[in-house]
Amino acid sequence: MTDKIQEIQKRVQASREDIIQFMLEIVEIPSMDSQLKDVGERIAKEMNKLGFDEVRFDKMGNIMGRIGNGKRVIVYDSHVDTVGIGDPTEWKWDPFKGKIEDGILYARGACDEKGSTPGMIYGLAMARDLGLLDGWTAYYFGNMEEWCDGIAPNTFVEVDPKVKPDFVVIGEPTKMLVYRGHKGRLEMKVTAKGRSAHAASNHLGDNAIYKLLPIIAGIRDLEPKLGDHEFLGHGKITVSDMHVKTPSINAVPDEAIIFIDRRMTFGETKEMVKRQVEDLIPAEFKDTVKLEELFYDEPSYTGFVFPVDKYFPAWALDEDHALVQAGQLARKTIGLSEAPSSKWNFSTNGIYWAGKAGIPSIGFGPGDEETAHTVRDSVSLEDMVKATEFYAILPSLIMG
């Protein structure tokens, strides 16, 4: 194994400029609102250059590449869509061309999550060339995640290519640590119905906004009472958006909706979470205020629709799980300092892979999630290249 890792490191250094150039080119291609076609074609070009056995888009429009036909199946999951850039004046550089300063690439998607794609693709190709994928079928899966995490892997297993992997590695930023879980989530909305009237005669109306005020205050005060877990941490709840329907700004609104993001830790069920919010609706408003789970059925850019509810279970692997241990051994083998496994604060495709499908999954990627979705979106180029070594060596270290 010492000879193998030395050869991997030699090959990674020889490919360093190619890996970095590939990264610069994929961040330069906008892929907001799940529009993956252009960046997917660029990624496909690199996989074809490296000799992947199969390279194609799936029905949803995600890009995938396969190496091998072994009985054991591993998927490297990297979402390559991004959020938008927000207010352009907040950026001090072009968010797509980015800038490199002190070895750090600042660009939209650098951290979240294009930074794992070059290492995954080059790492798998190197593992194949060194015989480290014998007995494996390995997939790179560049997918859309930002608007509904978990939907892309759901289609991977159930629609196209209809493969349930044995193991998954998620490339979301982990600061080059092994991550083994995160909280789940339930997205909900509360709709209040009222009666419109002219603002000059507001006594004739029934203001829908006012019906939501006690619920909003209750949500604000609810968090200290939520569940806790020694690894995943405390539950969270936030009113994340509000829509109002009104004939004009000089009228009493006849409908108001709040959207709720509820982060769930272990020990919290979907039924419990819904009941906590329903209990905040005053008795006198029960007939005109309703709680609903959110549902995702937006078509992808290919027109593909895969309806799912927006419930995402919490998940975590045990520290002594074979995949976690392999990840830790891979870190040590490539020369990273020992560090305990950890977890994400945000949500990933792990909510489907591990949370719904029960597939053992870990996270490993360059970048710090705290820069995700900000104008500081960034990744260390040194870490991005180094991650290639991890992705190359990992499959050969997985026991069981």
**Quick check: is 81 catalytic?**
yes
Which stretches within 80-181 are classed as H helix? Answer: 117-129, 151-158
Catalytic pick among 77, 81, 149, 383: 81
**Quick check: is 145 catalytic?**
yes
Residue 125 near residue 52, CB atoms below 8 Å:
yes
Catalytic pick among 77, 113, 145, 268: 145
What is the four-CA torsion angle of 52, 53, 57, 58, rounded to 10 degrees? -130
Say whether pTM exceeds 0.75: yes
Give CA separation, 113 vs 5, 147, 319, in Å: 26, 14, 25
CA distance 157 to 37: 21
Kind of pairing between the strands at 361-363 and 167-170: parallel
Residue 379 near residue 115, CB atoms below 8 Å:
yes
Residue 226 near residue 169, CB atoms below 8 Å:
no
Q: For tokens 């194609």, what's the residue?
A: 56
Kind of pairing between the strands at 167-170 and 72-79: parallel
DSSP 261: E
CA distance 124 to 127: 5
Least Cα distance to 207 among 255, 258, 259 occurs for 255
Angle between helix 16-27 and 117-129 (nearest 10)? 140
Q: What is the pLDDT along the chain (400 residues), one digit of tens a residue?
A: 789 999 999 999 999 999 999 999 999 999 999 999 999 999 999 999 999 999 999 999 999 999 999 999 999 999 999 999 999 999 999 999 999 999 999 999 999 999 999 999 999 999 999 999 999 999 999 999 998 999 999 999 999 999 999 999 999 999 999 999 999 999 999 999 999 999 999 999 999 999 999 999 999 999 999 999 999 999 999 999 999 999 999 999 999 999 999 999 999 999 999 999 999 999 999 999 999 999 999 999 999 999 999 999 999 999 999 999 999 999 999 999 999 999 999 999 999 999 999 999 999 999 999 999 999 999 999 999 999 999 999 999 998 6
The rounded radius of gyration (Å) of the Cα atoms in the chain is 23
* Token couple for 26: 């994929």
Beta bridge partners of 99: 106
Task: Using alpha carbons only, give the angle 13, 16, 20 rounded to the nearest 5 degrees.
Answer: 160
Polymer length in residues for the chain: 400
CA distance 183 to 383: 26
* Token couple for 249: 């700004």
